[in-house]
Amino acid sequence: MKTEFSLAHLTVLGCAPPEMIYIASLCGYDYVSIRPIYMKLPNEPNYDLAHNKAMMKHTKEAMRRTGMRIHDIELAKIDDTIDVEDYKAAIETGAELGAKSLLSSIWTEDKSMYIEKFHHLCELAKPYGMTVDLEFVTWAGVKNLKQAVEVLNSIDIDNKGLMIDTLHFNRSRVALEELDNLPPEWFNYVHLCDGPKEIPETKEGLIHTGRDERLYCGEGEINIADIIRRIPRPVVYSLELPHLKRVKELGYTEHARRCLVTAKEYLEKHNLENFCLK
């Protein structure tokens, strides 16, 4: 089974989906992971394809010309104020582009509410054949694997999933053993990147590395290999590796290329190409 890689939008966030697709094709990726849900973060471009018909048209044209596929769309954030019904247009757009998964994360402490909303999000995506993959984020409401597993165990629907990001896994201080005995069908893809040994003590420090300064695989101190070895089935590796300084120095295409080359070198070095635990 061929190991497949996706270029995550945060790695090249300044590129609109059509440009991102051409870059991914030039670099040798199998997929792109796009961000058509506008989150209104500081300095975040708006790639709302559901309402930008011209960009949607150019995205389809780029896919046709390159043969590039969309693996997943993001980010269906859950918090106290968001009505998940508002994500329906983005889900329909993602399905139209062939996306397999919808990424979600939880940013509230209200457990009963976020479990209900996550379940409803899965219901919205299910008719389109999409999984909804929950990512725990170190500075979010659901911030570790234990909390994410609790959410998934609380709902009875077969398109729920779990998305492991190696940076958040490390910085949430998750033990490797916590991955043991989780249902294989929960795993569809992972976010691969590296990071420094030191874990910031402040939210601001965590956010800075997460959004602005992740490292190439093998460049930092995260035990990526042992995390991958505990993933219970082959998954797509989505390379989420934003690094603003390197993008400024190298350009988006060269940065994206180095993300892929170093990931492949890391997997080969650790005998993890085509790795499957079971």
Has residue 276 got a pLDDT over 60?
no
The pLDDT score that the predictor gives to residue 159 is: 98
Q: Which domains does the chain have, with CATH numbers?
A: 5-269 (3.20.20.150)
Has residue 277 got a pLDDT over 90?
no
DSSP-assigned beta bridge partners for residue 90: none
In the structure, what pLDDT confidence band is assigned to residue 278 with cuts at 50, 70 and 90? very low
Query: What values do phi and psi take at 158, rounded to 5?
Result: -90, 5
Listed range (39-48, 171-180, 183-192) with the worst mean pLDDT: 39-48
Distances (CA, A) of 169 to 39, 124, 211: 23, 28, 15
Average pLDDT, the chain: 95
DSSP string for 108-122? -S-HHHHHHHHHHHH
DSSP string for 136-205? --TTSSS-SHHHHHHHHHT---TTEEEEEEHHHHHHTT--GGGGTT--GGGEEEEEE-B--SSPPSSHHH
The percent of residues in the chain predicted with pLDDT above 90, rounded, is: 88
Cα 269 from Cα 1, distance rounded (Å): 18
Element (H, E) at 62: helix 53-66
pLDDT digits (tens, 9 = 90+) for 214-269: 999 999 999 999 999 999 989 999 999 999 999 999 999 999 999 999 999 999 99
Has residue 28 got a pLDDT over 80?
yes
Identify whether the C-beta of residue 145 lies closer than 8 Å to the C-beta of residue 179: yes
Closest Cα to residue 65, out of 35, 26, 92, 95? 26
In the structure, what pLDDT confidence band is assigned to residue 201 with cuts at 50, 70 and 90? confident
Interhelix angle 17-27/53-66, nearest 10 degrees: 10
Distances (CA, A) of 69 to 47, 48, 77, 210: 17, 18, 23, 26
Cα 240 from Cα 164, distance rounded (Å): 11
Identify whether the C-beta of residue 128 lies closer than 8 Å to the C-beta of residue 95: yes
pTM: 0.94
In the structure, what pLDDT confidence band is assigned to residue 8 with cuts at 50, 70 and 90? very high
The pLDDT score that the predictor gives to residue 115 is: 97
Cα 1 from Cα 84, distance rounded (Å): 36
SS3 call for 243? strand
Distant-in-sequence, close-in-space partners of 242: CB < 8 Å, separation ≥ 6: 10, 11, 13, 210, 211, 212, 213, 214
Cα 206 from Cα 202, distance rounded (Å): 6
Cα 154 from Cα 163, distance rounded (Å): 17
Kindly state the tokens that stand for 163.
């998305």
The percent of residues in the chain predicted with pLDDT above 70, rounded, is: 97
pLDDT digits (tens, 9 = 90+) for 97-154: 999 999 999 999 999 999 999 999 999 999 999 999 999 999 999 999 999 999 999 9
* Mean pLDDT, rounded, for 60-81: 97
Cα 65 from Cα 87, distance rounded (Å): 28
